[in-house]
Amino acid sequence: MEREFTEEQKYILARKRVEKISKFYKHLAVYVVVNTFLSVIFITGDMNDGDSFTQAVFYNNNYKIWLFWGIGIAFQALNTFGVSFFFNKDWEKRKIKKYMEEQNYRR
């Protein structure tokens, strides 16, 4: 059973969706800018403590915030775009075609 929406309701739903997408992209931009800034501070601090540039850059603790905040960003992306953004009908068709072709080669 599908609902029929008025033009005003469609506009409100579309506006809310655009706002949600806009918030996601703003959050993503803040994520990149803040984490880049923090990574530079961490690397500089490690170098002041006596580490070489290479050691400071490849020190894993400097990037933990990227990982954990990134998990939050990933969940927000799924909430904003849904799983269908990543696994849409085109993806399904391509996979089916690929597996059918693989079956033909095995015969």
- pTM summary value: 0.69
Question: Is residue 74 in some structural domain?
Answer: yes
- The domain total for the chain is 1
Residue recorded with tokens 């080669």? 105
Is 43 within 8 Å of 57 (Cβ atoms)? yes
Residue 28 lies in a domain: yes
Band the pLDDT of 104: cuts 50, 70, 90: confident
Q: What are the tens digits of pLDDT across the range 29-66?
A: 999 999 999 999 999 999 999 989 888 888 888 899 99
19 lies in some domain: yes
- Do the domain assignments include residue 2? no
- Per the model's pLDDT, the better-predicted residue between 90 and 67 turns out to be 67
